[in-house]
Amino acid sequence: MRPPPVHYAKSGDVHIAYNAVGEGPLDIVMTPGSISNLEIYWEEPSLVRFFNALTGLGRLILFDKRGTGLSDRVADAATLEERIDDIRAVLDAARSSRAVIFGLSDGATMGILFAATYPARTAGLVVYGGSARWTRTPDHPWLPPREEFLSYLASEENESTFGSPAFVDEAVKAMAPSRSNDAAFKDWFGRLRRLGSSPSANQSMARLNMDVDVRDVLPAIHVPTLVLHATGDRDVPVESGRYIAKHIPGATWVEFAGIDHMFMVDPQALAFVVGEIRKFVRSLTTPPGRDRQLTTVLFTDIVNSTRAASRLGDSTWGELLDRHWKDVRSELSRYQGREIKTLGDGVLASFDGPTRGVRCACAIRDRVRPYGIEIRAGLHTGECVTSGSDLQGVAVNLAHRVMERAGTGQVLVTSTVRDLTVGSGIQFRDRGRAGLKGIEGKWHLLEVESGY
Average pLDDT over residues 9-16: 95
Hey, where are the domains in the chain?
7-282, 292-450
Q: Determine the pLDDT at residue 289.
A: 53
Q: Determine the pLDDT at residue 446.
A: 97
Q: Measured between alpha carbons, how far is 256 from 296 in angstroms, rounded to an integer? A: 37
In Å, what is the CA distance from 239 to each residue of 47, 132, 209, 243? 26, 11, 18, 6
Q: Determine the pLDDT at residue 76.
A: 75
Residue 286 reports pLDDT greater than 70: no
Residue 389 reports pLDDT greater than 70: yes
Q: Measured between alpha carbons, how far is 144 from 132 in angstroms, rounded to an integer? A: 14
| Angle formed by the axes of helices 45-55 and 267-282, nearest 10° | 20
Average pLDDT over residues 1-5: 83
Q: Determine the pLDDT at residue 429.
A: 96
209-225: pLDDT as tens digits: 888 999 999 999 999 99
Average pLDDT over residues 385-412: 92
Q: Determine the pLDDT at residue 158.
A: 61
Residue 451 reports pLDDT greater than 60: yes
The class level of CATH for 292-450 reads alpha beta
Confidence tier at 309 by pLDDT (50, 70, 90) = confident
Q: Measured between alpha carbons, how far is 97 from 88 in angstroms, rounded to an integer? A: 9
Region for residue 247 given its phi and psi (left: phi exceeds 0; alpha: psi -120 to 50; beta: otherwise): alpha
Going by C-alpha positions, the residue among 361, 439, 354, 363 that lies closest to residue 406 is: 361
Asked if 372 and 308 count as a contact pair (C-beta separation under 8 A), the reply is: yes
How high is the mean pLDDT of the chain? Answer: 92
Q: Lowest-pLDDT range, 20-24, 155-159, 251-255, 268-272?
A: 155-159
Rg (CA), the chain: 23
114-123: pLDDT as tens digits: 999 999 999 9
Average pLDDT over residues 377-387: 93
45 sits in which H/E element: helix 45-55
CA dihedral 154, 157, 161, 166 (to 10 degrees): -120
Q: Lowest-pLDDT range, 160-164, 398-402, 440-444?
A: 160-164
Q: Determine the pLDDT at residue 209.
A: 82
Q: Which one is predicted more confidently, 297 or 25? A: 297
* Global pTM value: 0.89
Percent helix, strand, coil in the chain (nearest 5)?
A: 45, 25, 30
Strands of 330-438, DSSP E = 338-343, 346-351, 375-387, 390-392, 411-414, 427-436
Q: Measured between alpha carbons, how far is 386 from 390 in angstroms, rounded to an integer? A: 6
In Å, what is the CA distance from 286 to each residue of 30, 88, 224, 281, 383? 21, 21, 10, 12, 21
247-263: pLDDT as tens digits: 999 999 999 999 999 99
Q: Measured between alpha carbons, how far is 300 from 347 in angstroms, rounded to an integer? A: 5
Average pLDDT over residues 77-83: 87
Q: Measured between alpha carbons, how far is 137 from 119 in angstroms, rounded to an integer? A: 29
Write the CATH number of the domain with boundaries 7-282. Answer: 3.40.50.1820
CB neighbour list of residue 286: distance below 8 Å, 6 or more residues apart: none
Residue 334 reports pLDDT greater than 80: yes
Q: Lowest-pLDDT range, 31-45, 69-83, 110-124, 210-224?
A: 69-83
CB neighbour list of residue 148: distance below 8 Å, 6 or more residues apart: none
